[in-house]
Structure 1
Amino acid sequence: MELQGTIKKISDIQTFNSGFQKREMVLQTEEQYPQPINIEFLQEKGDLLNSLNVGDKVKVAINIRGREWTSPQNEVKYFNSIVGWRVEKLDAGFTEPTEARPSEPTSTSTKTDVFAEEDDDLPF
C-alpha cells in the first residue's frame, strides 16, 4: 500500500534495551478530510527519514501489521501499526503534462515532404 501527503513531524530515533530501533513520522494526508497518520520506520529503515524535512510532500510505501496482546486481567486486545519501508519525495513544482504525446504538425504535406527527402539518405 502507499500513502501520500505532507510530513507533519519526524521523531528522533528511539533505541530500546534489546538494540531494537524505531523512528516515527506523522504524515498529513491530502484528501477531503485530512488525517494525521503515524508511520513507524524500523531498524535501518529509520535512515530513510534523514534527508526529509517537515513540510515535504512524500509518497510512502507501507505495510499494516497487527498483533494480539493479553492483559494481566486476561483480556485479549488487538493493536495495529503502520510500518514504512520506502519513501519517495514528491516534487512540489512538478505538474503532469496535459498531453502525453508530442503535438502533430498542422500540415501533413510538410511532414510527408520532410520524410521523403530523408528516405534516400539512410545509410542502411
Structure 2
Amino acid sequence: MTRSRFPASVYGTGTEPDPRFSLANERTFLAWNRTALALVAGGVALEALGLDLQPELRLAASVILIAAGLAVPVLAWFEWGRTERALRAATPLPGSVTSIALAVTIVVVGALVLLGVILR
C-alpha cells in the first residue's frame, strides 16, 4: 500500500530528487519561518518599548513588521512547493519572491524609522 504525501500537488509531480536537495529546500523554508518570527518580535518590540520616535511612524513600522511576519511563512510555503516541484521535474529553480518582499519591507520600515527619528 502506497501512502500519499502532503501536499499531493508537490509530491505527485515528477520523480524523487536527491534527498539532499529536498532537505536543503526544507531548511530554507524553516529559515524563512525563523525570519518571520524575528519580524513579529521586532514589530512588537518597536511598539512595546515606546522608543522616542514619531508615534504614528513607529506604529506604522510596527504594523508593517508584524504583517510581514504573518505574510512571510505563507510566501515561503508557496516558494517551498514551487522549488520542490522544480526539483522533482528537473527544471530550473524559480526565483525567490519572498526575498524581494522582505527587501521591500526592510526598506519601507527603515525609512519609517528614519523619518520617526528625524521628526521627533
Max Rg structure: 1
The normalised TM-score by structure 1 is 0.22
Higher strand proportion, which one?
A: 1
* More helix, by proportion: 2
Q: Which has the higher contact order (CA 8 A, sep 6+)?
A: 2
Give TM-score, length-normalised by structure 2: 0.23
